[in-house]
A and B are shown apart, each in its own frame.
Chain A
């Protein structure tokens, strides 16, 4: 090894520390997008998720022509809608492929390739979609119900089991059949009543059967189509992908919603969130997500308009409630869990760690959800005295060393999160300090993100973990809180088991009536506010910077990444 390699290694370690919002490490974040997936997030892009506030209030007639460059720090993996599981890929796919339905920015379902929202059979098991008439692929071929059937086949039919689709889990479980009685009609038969089905599973970009239909299942995983689709049905068609740099798209004249105003759409991969800010300022990029830490650096730039809105992305910590573990012994009494939450000044965390860009959580449901209950049964404001009296009442008394103990057991534990995420590291420090103030000895410990996820879903030897998560549009929260998901591989790593919660969540999933569901999720939020197995620190906001030359964007909580029904309506006022 030459001396210089050693030098570079040291430089590299500093480099990592330096870019604290270093986001390329977030392998598993990237929730949301076409599938409205939920996943644990390493931190980065998810903080930028977000709602309302149209950036355009102009009455000027849109001009045809020109280009925009959208910048982001995540590279694309695949352009195949049935293989993708990350936000960046979903975003590009959303520009080129429409699904049966789409979302408005508030999460309301709207038809896309379907002419209307589907008819649901009285038993709630069958959805019938009518496609728009005259749908065409970018190569002029007609887009028919056969293409829809083919696309869904890839992710649920047994003959396509070798297709590496991350969608298969849910689709295999819920889809009985997808058929095309005629070229304009798609019938989806489900195996059971499943309330989130339309919101979760009808946005996948439809793929061209006449291009991919002849491929063997394994060939679907590796076909050139995945890195350069020759045929599309969305607002844009594929031109080229300069690997590691940018993807270039051009207008699709056959788009059902009218040809896009823009000639060219470029998705540029930039080094990190600081680069997004820099390049918005220099005009090298026209659109990009802004990290909260960069907000002040960019708000003075006269060429950039900022949009900010709440998002269903959040940071929470969870107690290990498994009675066979240390956590179970310390935290099984809900008074302890409540006391620890009362002792936290979460507003201060939002101000100091997120520069005020976020909202202290009152409920386990996000404020962006139609099921959100603003004031559930128990509300937690910062109240140190209350925290101390709760602990006293529960029998945890301060010892001579200032640490509380009960029956010889000290209130002493370790908190884990992923190294490299400065925001989470800071939060653990605040928690350590706040809890020390009430006689609780909590020590932060930083581990790598893949190890953190392993801790949550399988190993589960932690006492307390802190991580980010993102909810889909539907208010179902079974993945984190249903006892079924305490099984290995499930996301309920906290081992939270509450039979009342289980039955409410199960009932809400098979109830199609929204009013009834809202009532059930209200009860759920009340119980959760009392039990606080996994307190949420804050819900984030999404912040987007858009160049003043770009018109027609309309970012919102559910129109950030994959789903943007306004793709073809974006235009530039300088025609360049």
Chain B
């Protein structure tokens, strides 16, 4: 059953990857105008120079031809070279990947670790002041744009703190430009972006845990557990929480592709040298090959993340069967 399901999902994934990359390319190709990636137009460039530079980048061919060549190369493990700087796309991605994983991994971990206890507290004390306060925080976390929160933190914890002689946090980058790079230095740089990013996860998942927990706690088996005299702590954590977090796993699983692409806004605001920032900058510069490489990579992860979430769900909850 599961094998058949996986095969079907796999075939569907191929269509998704092809569709996403093709649409990305068409959008870039249709909007680039007279732009030649990597070269600022200047009046000294004659039309024939521009034609030569375009041809050098393979842009003299129609986009579908470019696409098929690109696809063929990717299938052979060759992501090509950036149109902006001529270095391999794969090395660009691999250069930035550790930074992105550091940021998003920390944020997701923080989100999970904090949101579950908050959700449980909210459920157990439903209607209390604590619950209301947590609700307000969650709604805020969901509603406040990440860029705004990021800028606010920079203004307060970097600029204002520094001016008042307080210990302050660096406002951009992943390490100090001079003499940085040790663990402490990295953590200092990580605090603000990870906080902003995890705030969102935290809001989402704590609400989810709370409602899921409330639902589970109203089940018959919980009443049974309580009736047979089981300690409340055991009821909540063994019978309640274990069942309540199962749906949460799907949600977290859906965020796994976000490990690579999820931090875009935060990366841009904090100048974090990650994949999201790279994709953003290169899209603005019409660096076809780099953008396509990242899109391909990110799409694969989205597809794989969804699949993994489904499979985990089945493993953790034997009631689920695939048809």
Contact = CB atoms under 8 A, between A and B. Distances in A.
A185 interface: no
Contacts of A69: 177-178
A244 B96 contact: yes
B173 A245 contact: yes
A77 B47 CA distance: 23
B169 to A, nearest CB: 10
Interface string A1-34: 0101001101110110010000011011111000
A272 to B, nearest CB: 9
Given A14-B145, A278-B159, A282-B168, 19 more contacts: A4-B204, A7-B142, A8-B264, A11-B145, A15-B269, A25-B284, A28-B35, A29-B40, A166-B49, A224-B87, A226-B86, A244-B99, A245-B174, A245-B273, A266-B177, A450-B32, A450-B35, A451-B33, A453-B41
A38 interface: yes
A332 interface: no
A162 interface: yes
B271 A166 contact: no
A222 B81 contact: yes
A302 to B, nearest CB: 10
Contact of A169 (B49, B57, B175): B49
B92 interface: yes
Interface string B245-257: 0000000001100
B269 A271 contact: yes
A367 interface: no
Interface in A62-80: 67, 69, 75, 77-78
Nearest to B285: A27
Contacts of B148: 14, 18
Contacts of A8: 146, 262, 264-265
29 contacts: A4-B200, A4-B255, A8-B264, A11-B145, A15-B269, A24-B281, A25-B284, A27-B285, A28-B35, A31-B42, A37-B44, A39-B40, A77-B85, A164-B57, A168-B52, A169-B46, A222-B86, A227-B85, A243-B96, A243-B273, A244-B99, A248-B177, A270-B172, A271-B270, A278-B155, A282-B158, A450-B34, A457-B41, A491-B43
A2 B46 CA distance: 47
Contact of B271 (A161, A227, A269, A485): A269
A222 B89 CA distance: 12
A245 B175 contact: yes
Contacts, number: 200
Contacts of A448: 31, 33
B170 interface: yes
Interface of B: 31-35, 38-47, 49-50, 52-53, 56-57, 81, 84-87, 92, 95-96, 99, 142, 145-148, 151, 154-155, 158-159, 162-163, 168, 170-175, 177-178, 200, 204, 254-255, 258, 262, 264-265, 268-271, 273-274, 277-278, 281, 284-286
A485 B42 CA distance: 12
